Amino acid sequence: MKNQSKEDYYIREVMMELGPDSPSANFQQTILSKLRAERTISVYNPVISSLGWKLIGGAIATLVIAVLFFLPSGDSATPLFNQLPTITIPKAGIKFPIISLASIDISVIAIQSLVIFSLFALVSIVFTLRKWQTS
């Protein structure tokens, strides 16, 4: 037992004498540079910019309006497009164009799809507006 405690004492002493080993000089900097590299925020660049989406939205809206107002709705109605030349400024009486919405024959599934699409579009608009308010 005494022998073991002597061993213990000596080994402790020489281990302390030997001390710890040192890593290379740039050890700490290497780790920090790796951590900094991990931290850099990657900027999200969307494929279609917000202006692009606005233009696409505008084009779709124009198309929908054009279809609704300018396409013939039935046999009796005259398309709005055909009524445009009849509007002549020199005449005193202004004839207002007879607005008739085009009746589009859409299947039930297509209507359901359009409703769901509109709902999702509405939700996305609400979230986008909230995001703009917070940022």
Q: Tell whether residue 40 is a contact of other proteins (CB under 8 A).
A: no
| Cα–Cα dist 100/79, whole Å | 8
Please check whether residue 80 is in contact with residue 87, taking contact to mean a CB–CB distance below 8 angstroms: no
Interactions with other proteins, residue window 88-117 (CB under 8 A): none
User: Please, what is the minimum distance in Å from the beta carbon of residue 14 to other proteins?
Assistant: 5
Q: How many residues bind other proteins (CB under 8 A)?
A: 28
Q: Tell whether residue 39 is a contact of other proteins (CB under 8 A).
A: yes
Its sign, for the CA torsion 94, 62, 70, 120, is negative
Please check whether residue 67 is in contact with residue 102, taking contact to mean a CB–CB distance below 8 angstroms: yes
Q: Tell whether residue 24 is a contact of other proteins (CB under 8 A).
A: yes
Q: Tell whether residue 41 is a contact of other proteins (CB under 8 A).
A: no
Question: Tokens representing 71?
Answer: 């396409």
Interface region with other proteins, contact rule CB under 8 A, candidates 27-35, 54-62, 92-100, 112-120:
27-35
Interface region with other proteins, contact rule CB under 8 A, candidates 19-27, 74-82, 83-91, 99-107:
19-27
Alpha helices, DSSP H only, in 22-106? 27-39, 50-70, 80-83
Residues contributing to the site for other proteins (CB under 8 A): 3-4, 6-8, 10-12, 14-24, 27-28, 30-32, 34-36, 39
